[in-house]
Chains A and B, each alone.
Chain A
């Protein structure tokens, strides 16, 4: 029970964080058809910005400023880089963001060194929210979950209740028609790109203090975020939320499950036979935890290529 509750909490918070990063990626892909390889670079930039700013200002203002800076970075990338190569097609856009992700990572290494920084949760937030089965549950984890949930609600309301949201959703679907109805679609694209980058930056600024802030964090998260977007359905915000939670929870639960196929067979009385086979049979679920998201993606691509809630084929 203890294991279950804590895994559930941790998995949910991790899933919510994944959502904050993947939301921007899925919206950008849905609108512009650009698979932005540099998206998690904004996550990393957010963390480094917040870490650096903390030397001068206090925690929360530096989180906010880091978010704004990451968003500004996104706008610059869209306006001055992506838009220029747009007419050459998606392959060029993909290569551009791919290169950009490397440049950002190398710049970070140049300025901060190729090792984890000392970015930590401030002492004032370093206390337990409640005791659960005798262990302290850190309040900062709940804060991260709360911020992600708040952002989801904000983005969701913005998209579903405002005219700007209607324009964004229709531009995802038919950009040329949206433009023919008098909407400046490139400006909308730039805005979405900026907001997406800002969300990733916020996630980085908040999560960087809890997990680790290092020059590989963009690459590490990037892979998982792509899985989230594919599983959820490219372009679907709700899908990204669902997939983030599934992947967050499954990785969180898997880490603690020390069972293998042998145990499953043992349940039917064939344990010794399975043990004798060895190999795959003896592999523990916990050691597979990092593989689970990819296995999930594989299954989704085979069974439902448009993703769980994807509309576009």
Chain B
């Protein structure tokens, strides 16, 4: 069994959050080591997306702690959380449709943190040459796949230490799913830690080093991808549709 890295980058402790009156996160506990890809799995409504939003400060946690390199982020505004090194790629993509591709990328740019390789617009265009061709196009006119690439690039240009990615392959053509999958692997190889929420189990298992299964707003299982696939009871109870 692969051991987890010694140094913890992100530590989520007993996180609670509400949407109106419904108690969505009921004490979420997990951590992400330096250079790890951790997947949050589970059915719709299990609280995976809300966990990412709560870390980012977009849904205010009511209690618990989110430690990034030991510093608690709970209570900070999301622009501060971003500046401390957390990048968020939302499921809805949230591109600025009224802005061009270049302008969207400009929105994401933040100074690099020391010790992490810096992302540049040119590097992004190497990844996704298609975006370079369309750099002066209004982002609203891009295809779904191109929008997904744009939203990934935009967040990466913030030079995050850890990336929160919500359903990156949702609604994409199979060919583009592969591109996104490769990109995630490559981002990881460059030393960025990742928390991934992914509906497609096969992809999540392929790219992650550690998986957490969520149910009813809690983590109900933690382990390696192999441990998860070997546990059929767990798969049927928490993941099968």
**What is A's interface to B at a CB cutoff of 8 Å?**
163, 166-167, 169-170, 172-174, 176-185, 311
Contacts and interface: CB of A to CB of B under 8 A. Distances in A.
B82 A180 contact: yes
A178 B154 CA distance: 11
8 contacts: A166-B99, A170-B103, A170-B104, A173-B98, A179-B78, A180-B57, A180-B58, A182-B79
B90 interface: yes
A183 B158 CA distance: 11
B227 interface: no
A179 B80 CA distance: 9
A51 B231 CA distance: 81
Contacts of B82: 179-182
Nearest to B154: A181
Given A173-B97, A179-B77, A166 B108 contact: no
A169 B57 CA distance: 22
B96 interface: yes
Contact of A176 (B78, B97, B106, B154): B78
A129 B90 CA distance: 58
B58 A163 contact: no
Interface string B98-116: 1100011011101000000
B56 A166 contact: no
Contact of B158 (A170, A182, A185): A182
Contacts of A185: 79
Interface string B62-87: 00000000000000011101110000
B126 interface: no
B155 interface: yes
A173 B98 CA distance: 8
Given A170-B99, A173-B98, A182-B110, 13 more contacts: A169-B98, A169-B99, A170-B98, A172-B98, A176-B58, A178-B107, A179-B78, A179-B82, A180-B90, A181-B108, A181-B158, A183-B107, A311-B98
B95 to A, nearest CB: 8
5 interchain residue pairs of minimum CB distance = A182-B82, A177-B94, A170-B96, A180-B78, A179-B79
B96 to A, nearest CB: 4
Interface residues of B, number: 25
Q: In this complex, which of B90, B99, B103 has the most chain A Cβ atoms within 10 angstroms of its Cβ?
A: B103
B160 to A, nearest CB: 10
Contacts of B56: 180
A37 B99 CA distance: 29
Contact of A167 (B107, B154, B158): B107
B158 to A, nearest CB: 6
Contacts of A183: 79, 107
A195 to B, nearest CB: 20
Contact of B90 (A166, A177, A179): A177
A270 B99 CA distance: 55
Contacts of A172: 98
A163 B83 CA distance: 17
A177 B108 CA distance: 10
A181 B58 contact: no
Q: In this complex, which of A169, A174, A178 has the most chain B Cβ atoms within 10 angstroms of its Cβ?
A: A174
Nearest to B88: A180
Contacts of B77: 179, 184
Contacts of B110: 181-182
A210 B194 CA distance: 62
